[in-house]
Amino acid sequence: ADPDPLQDFCVADVSAPLSINGFPCKPSSQITSDDFFFDGLSKVGNTTNLFGATVTAGNVLAFPALNTLGISMNRVDFAPGGVNPPHSHPRSSESGVVIEGKLLVGFVTTNNVYHSKVLSAGQMFVIPRGLVHFQLNVGEGKALAFTAFNSHLPGSSVLPFNVFASTPSIPDKVLTKAFQVDEDVINSIRSKLGF
Ligand code: GLV
Ligand code: MN
């Protein structure tokens, strides 16, 4: 979904003091082979958190050589029962492959049709750009998946945090009316999310 590159590469200077649609390139005199390799997805993510899952991002911010190339990857680790909660990527479709364990992968179309399947090692899924999706570990042990994107920075709107834990908050009146619940339900969700 990203625009096409205009040169072989443009290793991002992510700390450049200017902001453009992407990142400026590091001077070619400073480029080494190491720029094009990244071991940030080699470590097991810490799943001791609210959701029992963690996404380790291999996007342009973590791996600057991806700048302008329109691709990136994540590693997603799951504790037993862990969930990568409903979220969407505004700038990218997502494909993924399960490496270990058993994952229920689901997404919902803009017409509110739900598609899902339980996948095990070697099996692949696709999430069309922008659609809300999740993965739930339904196996006995831990699970691991790698995901790939057609954007160097897909973005991720994580619904529970977007809706219930924004800064500043969405007014209670909006949420009580939208979800047809009382304020105490909203407050309970907020406090469980740590807000
Ligand atoms: C999984 O859905 C991911 O965004 O990496
Ligand atoms: Mn995703």
Give residue 121's domain range. Answer: 28-152
Tell me the pLDDT of the chain (195 aa) as tens digits: 899 999 999 999 999 998 888 899 999 999 999 999 999 999 999 999 999 999 999 999 999 999 999 999 999 999 999 999 999 999 999 999 999 999 999 999 999 999 999 999 999 999 999 999 999 999 999 999 999 999 999 999 999 999 999 999 999 999 999 999 999 999 999 999 988
Q: Please check whether residues 125 and 64 belong to one and the same domain.
A: yes
Q: Please check whether residues 42 and 134 belong to one and the same domain.
A: yes
Pocket test for ligand 1, best of 41, 94, 124, 125 (most atoms within 8 A of CB): 94
Q: Is this complex scored with an ipTM above 0.90?
A: yes
Residues 32, 181 contacting (CB under 8 angstroms): no
Structural domains counted in the chain: 2
Q: Please check whether residues 42 and 114 belong to one and the same domain.
A: yes
Residue 2 included in any domain: no
Q: Please check whether residues 54 and 148 belong to one and the same domain.
A: yes
Letter string b/e over residues 71-108, b meaning 16 or more CB atoms within 10 A of that residue's CB: bbbbbbbbbeebbbbbbbbebbbbebebeebbbebbbb
Q: Please check whether residues 122 and 38 belong to one and the same domain.
A: yes
> How far does residue 173's CA lie from ligand 1's centre (Å)?
31
pTM: 0.95
